[in-house]
Structure 1
Amino acid sequence: MGIVQASLTELLGLLSDAVKPAQVHHEDEGEPSPPDAAVTVRTVALNRVGRSRRKGPLLDLELKVAIEARGPECLTLMEQLLLVVERHSQYSVVSAGEFEPGEYQASIREGLGFLVRVPVSLPFEEPSGPPVLEPLIASTTVARRIHGRLVDIHNKGIPNAYIRAHSSATAVVSDATGHFEVLASADELQHFAVAVRGTEREMSASTSSLPVTIRWE
């Protein structure tokens, strides 16, 4: 089994455990969901995010899947599905302002649902080049954790806000005092997608000194 398929299978297992005894069905291309499937999962896209280096070089991908609930227990199922995704911080829900044109309508067809990002890292071998005859100067980019606080115009912390650095595929939620910790690149100037009570904005902040403060105005 490939790494992308294994990541999807892991998500399907979590969803199935969350809604038991309801059935979860992964809908392949051209294969409709059976009538008794209360939850349907569809693969929407697999996108390249970039490269990183942890235990060797990695190709960072983002698998986007749609999760749809239907039937008389639709609202209860949605509650259970959203909770299990929130409990596993590697996943992030696509917020209302992040959909591609027509993406939601094409992915959620019969009931209620939402889209989830699944980060996937593929190890690969970098090609070796010819012998270097002159000194080679190289720089590497290392991911780091940025901690900070999201505040309003009165310097009051904003809780339950979704924050994602553009250099990362994973979103986090600010705590009761507005504090957060997010994975990002080593760049000093960071760009963030911040969503507060359904409103999303693109914001930038310098991370030359931590903790960083992001001001929602």
Structure 2
Amino acid sequence: MSVVRSTLSSLVSVLADAVAPDSVAVSDGGDVPTDPVIVRVVSLDRVGRSRRDGPVLDLELAVAVLCTGPRSLENVEQMLAAVEGSSRYAVVPLQPSESGMNGLGFRVRVPVPLRMSEPQGPPVLEPLQVTTVIGRTLRGIVVGPDGHGLAGASIRSRASALAVVSDGSGGFSLLSTPDPVQDFIVEYHGQSLAVTAPIDPTLTLAWAPQQYRAE
């Protein structure tokens, strides 16, 4: 049974207990029942989304409760008292089009929380290993063949995806690993070079195209 159908059945059970021995029928669009109490589904609306131990689609079920016959007044009184005893139900007057029908009645609004499934990622078939590395800010200089600093050179450590640009005197700083010797990619005037250099005592990257193989 669906969540909405189960909610409707619970409400009908409360109403039936209140008017016993009179019977309660649900009108679902077919032939109109002749029972003293008729419950007709009016609407099922989306209210929004929420989280309660997971994602929930909040719906609201609205039904019209109509009474006919010699015990209409008593049945309405007993059903109003029954639904008033539960904070789950909200009672409002019938709409003009509904109140024009023969008999007495009222409308009931019932919240329906519909649990939703969350998309799951692919299963991890092998143990997941995570290595934590402490970063270090490296400060250095890029120099040309004449030993002077190169301004506007792009420098990237192979240990990082971030690139920095050297300042007017060729100096730069970037975040990398504390490894004593590291590989760098230096780009200058559209040409890329792979440079390996020690980071201490002073990190110096020499721009010497004739000495290094292009990346």
Q: TM-score, normalised by structure 1?
A: 0.53
The answer to whether the Cα contact below 8 Å between 1:65 and 1:116 also exists between their aligned partners in 2 is yes
Distance in 1 between residues matched to 2:96 and 2:4, nearest whole Å: 22
Q: Does 1:118 align with 2:116?
A: no
Q: Does 1:62 align with 2:54?
A: no
- In the other structure, the counterpart of 2:10 is 10
RCO higher in structure (CA 8 A, sep ≥6): 1
SS of equivalent residue, structure 1 residue 77:
helix
Q: List alignment gaps of at least 5 residues for structure 2.
A: 122-215
Distance in 1 between residues matched to 2:76 and 2:52, nearest whole Å: 35
The answer to whether the Cα contact below 8 Å between 1:66 and 1:107 also exists between their aligned partners in 2 is no
Distance in 2 between residues matched to 1:91 and 1:9, nearest whole Å: 13
Q: Deviations over 1:72-92 (max 9, x none)?
A: 111100100100110011000
Query: How many correspondences in the alignment?
Result: 122
Describe the shift of the 1:53–1:92 C-alpha distance in structure 2 as closer, same or farther (beyond 3 A). same
Partner amino acid, structure 1, of 2:17: D
Report the Cα offset of residue 51 of structure 1.
Answer: 0.8
- In the other structure, the counterpart of 1:30 is 30
Q: Is the radius of gyration larger for structure 1 or structure 2?
A: 2
Describe the shift of the 1:41–1:48 C-alpha distance in structure 2 as closer, same or farther (beyond 3 A). same
- In the other structure, the counterpart of 2:200 is none
Report the Cα offset of residue 30 of structure 1.
Answer: 2.3
Partner amino acid, structure 2, of 1:66: A
Q: Structure 1: which 4+ aligned runs deviate by more than 6 Å? A: none
Distance in 1 between residues matched to 2:97 and 2:104, nearest whole Å: 11
Partner amino acid, structure 1, of 2:19: V
Taking the TM superposition and a 5 Å limit, the aligned residue runs for 1:138-157 are: none
Q: Deviations over 1:49-72 (max 9, x none)?
A: 111111111000000000011111
SS of equivalent residue, structure 1 residue 16:
helix
- Aligned-pair identity (%): 49
The answer to whether the Cα contact below 8 Å between 1:51 and 1:60 also exists between their aligned partners in 2 is yes
Distance in 2 between residues matched to 1:120 and 1:107, nearest whole Å: 25
Report the Cα offset of residue 6 of structure 1.
Answer: 0.2
Q: Does 1:83 align with 2:70?
A: no
- In the other structure, the counterpart of 2:48 is 50
Greater displacement, 119-128 / 47-56: 119-128
SS of equivalent residue, structure 1 residue 78:
helix
Report the Cα offset of residue 110 of structure 1.
Answer: 1.6
SS of equivalent residue, structure 1 residue 118:
strand
Distance in 2 between residues matched to 1:28 and 1:109, nearest whole Å: 17
Report the Cα offset of residue 107 of structure 1.
Answer: 6.6
Q: In the alignment, which of 72, 75, 82 is matched to residue 74 of structure 1?
A: 72
